[in-house]
Amino acid sequence: MIRNTFIAIAEDSKHRMGVEPPRRDGPPTLARLHFDLLSEHPYELTLDDLNFTVHCLKHGLDTADQQARAAFLSKGHPCMRASPLTKTYGFGAHYNHAGKIALYPADSVAYQKFLKDPEVRVEKAMRSKRAVEIA
């Protein structure tokens, strides 16, 4: 479980400040689902909770189904380094001491504090594109 870690926005993020993912007709995007869940429930969901809840919402499953949860979690799933929120939309993600997640816009004071906090491990979100190698 990831704990006491801050995921900073990707180097190639399209946004340098937190931008709410757009709503669209049809099913919500992964970015929208992550944003809605983490905005409404800061520090209430672990990564496993978040990923399983998103899976249930996308497939019309009951989040209380423990068999479905066990089957889902028996496979690996991406962390917040791969979330569109940290890769594209300008949000950092903080895992607290219990592994529960909250979002922070890159243009916020709290975001800057996490970057400088010696007690918090800082990792960059994954780039959307490969870095260009200079020979």
The backbone torsions φ and ψ at residue 58, rounded to the nearest 5 degrees and listed phi first, read: -70, -30
**Boundaries of every domain in the chain:** 5-46+79-124
Q: Outline where 20-129 has alpha helix (H).
A: 30-40, 47-59, 66-73, 84-87, 109-116
pLDDT (0 to 100) of residue 18: 94
Helix (H, G, I), strand (E, B) or coil at 66: helix
Token reading at 71: 């089957």
Give the tens place of pLDDT for each residue, 8-62.
999 999 999 999 999 999 999 999 999 999 999 999 999 999 999 999 999 999 9
Give the tens place of pLDDT for each residue, 60-80.
999 999 999 999 999 999 899
